[in-house]
Amino acid sequence: MSSYVTKKTPGNTDWFVHDRFGMFIHWGLYAMPARHEWVKMREKMTTEQYSKYFKYFDPDMYDPKEWARLAKAAGMKYAVMTTRHHEGFSMFDTKFSDYKCTNTPAGRDLIREYVDAFRAEGLKIGFYYSLLDWYHEDYTLDRNHPQRDIPDGDAFNEGRDMHRYAQFMRNQVTELLTNYGKIDILWFDFSIPANPSDRPCWQAKTAPEWEAEELIKVARSLQPDIMIDNRAGIEQDLYTPEQYQPQAWVTHKVTGEKVVWEACQTFSGSWGYHRDESTWKSPEMLIQMLINTVAFGGNLLMNVGPTARGYLDERAENALGVYAKWMKYNSRSIYGCTMAEPEFTAPFGCRLTQTQDGKRLYIHLFDYPYKFLELPGYAGKVDYAQFLHDASELKIREKNPGHFGDGQSASDDLLVISLPEVKPNVIVPVIELFLK
Ligand code: GLC
């Protein structure tokens, strides 16, 4: 059994730390400008200027069954889709706003179709829900608001009431957690702490302004097992490092305990569909990020930003294909795996994962080591070794007198694995060790 214990949380994280790999989906009106989901804020657009997207939103090629198939083939076990992003537009049929997909040419509940399609493929269902709202008439200015720099900020805020806004969020979350069956993850985004450089008309927005305690209470009363992230400002089940890869197991700031965590990452620099963005990650990076995450006991939530017509463009499909190809043969080193026990040290250029039951250890060869892989400290612990992708035996020797009999690498605890000279045609080959 793995010796690592994480801080207790209110929701059910058991399935989550087994499944390890999910699909994030950022989809909303911002797919139309196609230049980042923060476009309204970045370009300081008014709601009036932004309204053309509402008017013409028509994802005629939306086929979430296809998304779900691609996700499943990529080895993803769950998904988290934006039900509403900071632009304030609901991708579901809500009673509490007219600013919703059913009132656009799309004409249907896009979230309902997502839920049905992903559930049918056996994936668990997550909802992203933005705490920010650049549309709602009760939402005040803050440092991230599109109208943050308008000269008379007080006039803008006049009559706006964040209590009403908090009630609106509770209403919508109630709909989302009542009308779509079992929901496994609720992913709030995000809080805005006060900053010394804030204008007086900007409001900090954290747990008290979101009325997060009540919001979470509502969510838990409807879906007791649900996992909730920490971004509403009250610690719940999930830490969510964004756009960076932790280099160690994420720990609690105060107690130092290990926590349940999930890195969220993009294929390129934007979450929403970005036509002209070109920093797409290489296949090696994509696979290595997944391995690095599990090697530190975390999950990876990899994002796609579908086009405004509703399909995943070629670049996204290719990136998912990279995962599909690798996971088809190597997923055993990901599912049900976690950080290796401290008794095993990763050799140079390699990453380790270990099954949570402790029985198998996986060595991921980021740098292919030529003919031999030397593993100090492993002697006496390994029963059998093979490549994971084809289950071909890899010969092991212990207490090796050095490759040339010169005693160079001699050590009592050394185990040496013989490898083919030529790296197999796998982006990251994996050695599977059956432990004694
Ligand atoms: C952020 C951004 C955002 C994205 C999210 C995903 O905080 O506001 O656009 O949805 O992170 O983690």
The pocket around ligand 1, CB under 6 angstroms, is made up of 26, 37-38, 189-190, 242, 264, 271
pLDDT tops 80 at residue 407: no
Give me the pLDDT at residue 411, please.
74
Closest atom of ligand 1 relative to the 130 alpha carbon: 10
CA of 187 to the centre of ligand 1 (A): 10
Please list, residue by residue across 71-85, b when 16 or more beta carbons sit within 10 angstroms of its beta carbon and e when fewer do. Answer: bbbbbbbbbbbbbbb
How many angstroms separate the alpha carbon of residue 414 from the centre of ligand 1? Answer: 46
- Please check whether residue 263 is in contact with residue 241, taking contact to mean a CB–CB distance below 8 angstroms: yes
Contact at 8 Å (CB) between 123 and 77? yes
pLDDT value, residue 431: 98
Return the residue whose CA atom lies nearest to atom 10 of ligand 1.
271
| Interatomic CA distance for residues 219 and 173, integer angstroms | 7
* Residue 345, helix vs strand vs coil: coil
Decide if 13 contacts 260 (C-beta within 8 A): yes
Query: How confident is the model at residue 237, as a pLDDT?
Result: 98
User: What number is the average pLDDT over the span 77-93?
Assistant: 98
Q: What percent of the chain has pLDDT over 70?
A: 97
- Atom index in ligand 1 nearest the CA of residue 37 equals 9
Q: What integer pLDDT is reported at residue 402 of this predicted model?
A: 56
Task: Please tell me the distance between residue 345's alpha carbon and the centre of ligand 1 in angstroms.
Answer: 35
Average pLDDT over residues 312-337: 98
Q: Is the dihedral of CA 241, 243, 244, 249 positive or negative?
A: positive
pLDDT at residue 409, as a whole number: 57
> 114 CB contacts (<8 Å, ≥6 apart)?
25, 64, 67, 79, 81
- Give residue 370's pLDDT: 86
Nearest CA residue ID for atom 2, ligand 1: 189
Question: Can you give the pLDDT at residue 408?
Answer: 57
Q: How far does the centroid of ligand 1 lie from the alpha carbon of residue 38, in Å?
A: 9
Instruction: Supply the pLDDT for residue 404.
Output: 52
- d(CA 295, ligand 1 centre) in Å: 24
Ligand 1 atom having least distance to the Cα of 242: 12
What mean pLDDT is reported for the chain? 96
Atom of ligand 1 nearest to the CA of 26: 10
The 3-class secondary structure across 280-304, one letter per residue, is: CCCHHHHHHHHHHHHHCCCEEEEEE
Mean pLDDT for the stretch of residues 397-409: 61
Has this prediction a pTM greater than 0.85? yes
Pocket mutation for ligand 1, best pick of 271, 300, 302 (most atoms within 8 Å of C-beta) = 271
Q: How far is the CA of 405 from the centre of ligand 1 (A)?
A: 57
Banded model confidence at residue 268, pLDDT cuts 50, 70, 90: very high
Residue given tokens 């007198």 in the structure block:
401
Model confidence pLDDT, tens digit, residues 187-209: 999 999 999 999 999 999 999 99
Mean pLDDT on 135-144:
98
pLDDT tens across 269-307, in order?
Answer: 999 999 999 999 999 999 999 999 999 999 999 999 999
Pair type for strands 360-365 and 350-355 = antiparallel
Mutate to test the pocket of ligand 1, among 186, 189, 265 (most ligand atoms within 8 A of CB): 189
CA of residue 189 to ligand 1 center, whole Å: 7
